[in-house]
Amino acid sequence: MADIYVSKIDRSEVWQFPTIPEEFPTISQPSKSEEFSTFNNGDFNLQNGVGLKSFSMGFMLPLHKYNFNKCDFNNTQNIINLILTSMVEKFPIRFIFKGEGDSEYTNIMVTVETFEYNFNKQLDIVFSGEFKEFRVTK
């Protein structure tokens, strides 16, 4: 069964998402290529590497016990708190997307670019967020 986890970088806090979206988010990675035109030879494209990966995701996180929960619904509040704290205290977090058989689909350190949440009719949380890869400077 697929799973999503979020953690602090030192893994002092690791939280499993009680629910997951229909599909894992699409990871986008832009190219840093530059196109320029010459007088006699037409256009050229210079490859300058790649930009930072990014993804968006949003779905319902339960604040109640449901049969479809993958883990304790109390993780929801901890997940929200970790994401909001990372924005305020300016530290990256790690997302781990796992596929069937516990294989890692993606393990990425990110910053939270935007984060919004509200409550639905059942008083569960519905969130949406945009996340961008964080690279450690060497």
pLDDT at 32: 85
Of the two residues 120 and 38, the one the predictor is more confident about is 120
Instruction: State the average pLDDT for the chain.
Output: 93
Domain ranges of the chain: 3-27+53-133
Q: What is the DSSP string of 59-71?
A: EEE-SS--TT-SS
- Average pLDDT of the residues in 38-58: 89
pLDDT at 101: 74
105-131 pLDDT, tens digit per residue, is 889 999 999 999 999 999 999 999 999
pTM of the model: 0.86
d(CA 129, CA 138): 28
What class has domain 3-27+53-133?
mainly beta
- Is 81's pLDDT higher than 80? yes
Mention every residue, 6+ apart, whose C-beta is less than 8 A from residue 85: none
